Every structure is written in structure tokens, then in C-alpha cells.
């Protein structure tokens, strides 16, 4: 058996030391209060803060029996509490979904606006004369669906060839 499996078979339970009131490890999200007995996860066990607290007596080892006795004293959640917790989580997720949908709509509007600008530029055609080669290449790459091979070839075009390409391919790929 690997060392890690052996360690997990010997589960570690901890409680507060006699002089401690509370212990918190922000990194692992572990909080231990008076009278509480908790099972350490592998992540908790590896935390330097928790290891230091164990060495210093702020946390002390507890037995499995103490842990089971503590768990038995806890009142089980009622069906209403479980439903309330579930609804709370669902509400958070629904809010996140609404925010994401709003962001998608904004991005779609922005994309449509950019397409309109491109079409306006095409209508006049003169704006391209003032553009540099890299700008023309970017415009072509963003307007038409090109293969990687075509994109490499377009980069080698001279300015007049780029302008001719744009004029020949007035309708962008959708």
C-alpha cells in the first residue's frame, strides 16, 4: 500500500487544546470551536498552520470515539432546512447564469456593431488606402475565415495585393 493510502486509513481527528477558544485556517477553510471535533482532510493535514497549531497545543488529537460522540450530539437538518439550503445554492447559480447571459448578449451586440462598422468601411472602400499592411492583414483575418496556410500567405502580400484582395472579396464569411 502506498504511504498516502496508509495515512488516510489512520484518519486524524482534532479538537481545540485546553487553553484555546477558536482555531481558524483561512487557507484550508478549517474552523474549530470549543467542543467541536473535526476530521482533518489530507489538505488540512498538509497545512503548515495546522501542523504548527498541533505542535503548539492549540489543536490536539482526538479519538474516533470522541468524533462519533460529537457527531451524535449534532441535530440532523430537517427537510425544510435541506430544501432551504438547496434553494439558496440554486439561487446563487441562477444569478450567475443571468450574469453570464447578460454578458453574452453584450458581446453579441458588440460583435454586431463591429460587423456593421466593417460593412460601412467596405461601402466606401477609400479607408483602406490609409491603412498599413499589418492593419490590412488584421482586417482580412478578422473579416474572412481563412486557413492558417492562407493567413501566412496573406502576410506576404504587398499593400496593393491586399487592397485588391479586399475589393475582390467584398462579402465577408458569416
**Per-residue pLDDT reduced to its tens digit, 104-131:** 888 888 887 777 777 666 655 566 777 8
The structural domain count of the chain equals 3
Q: What is the model's pLDDT at position 8?
A: 55
Residue 62 within a domain: yes
| Model confidence at 49: pLDDT above 90 | yes
133: domain range? Answer: 125-169
122 exposed, middle or buried (CB, 10 Å; 0-12, 13-18, 19+)? middle
| Max mean pLDDT range (29-43, 86-100, 126-140) | 29-43
12 and 66 fall within a common domain: yes
Is there a contact between 154 and 146 (Cβ–Cβ < 8 Å)? yes
59 and 95 fall within a common domain: no
63-67, 87-91, 101-105, 164-168: range with lowest mean pLDDT: 87-91
Q: What is the model's pLDDT at position 174?
A: 47
pLDDT band at 1 (very low <50, low <70, confident <90, very high): low
Residue 2 within a domain: no
50 and 95 fall within a common domain: no
Amino acid at each position: 500500500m502506498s504511504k498516502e493510502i496508509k495515512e488516510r486509513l489512520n484518519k486524524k481527528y482534532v479538537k481545540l487544546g485546553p487553553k484555546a477558544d477558536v482555531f481558524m485556517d483561512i487557507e484550508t477553510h478549517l474552523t474549530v470551536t470549543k467542543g467541536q471535533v473535526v476530521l482533518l482532510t489530507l489538505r488540512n493535514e498538509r497545512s503548515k498552520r495546522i501542523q504548527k497549531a498541533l505542535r503548539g497545543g492549540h489543536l490536539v488529537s482526538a479519538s474516533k470515539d470522541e468524533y462519533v460522540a460529537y457527531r451524535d450530539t449534532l441535530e440532523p437538518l430537517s427537510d425544510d432546512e435541506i430544501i432551504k439550503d438547496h434553494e439558496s445554492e440554486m439561487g446563487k447559480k441562477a444569478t450567475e447564469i443571468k450574469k453570464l447571459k447578460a454578458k453574452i448578449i453584450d458581446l453579441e451586440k458588440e460583435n454586431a456593431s463591429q460587423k456593421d462598422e466593417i460593412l460601412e468601411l467596405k461601402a466606401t472602400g477609400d479607408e483602406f488606402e490609409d491603412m498599413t499592411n499589418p492593419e490590412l492583414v488584421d482586417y482580412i483575418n478578422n473579416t474572412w475565415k481563412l486557413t492558417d496556410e492562407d493567413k501566412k500567405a496573406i502576410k506576404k502580400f504587398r499593400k496593393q495585393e491586399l487592397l485588391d484582395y479586399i475589393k475582390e472579396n467584398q462579402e465577408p464569411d458569416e
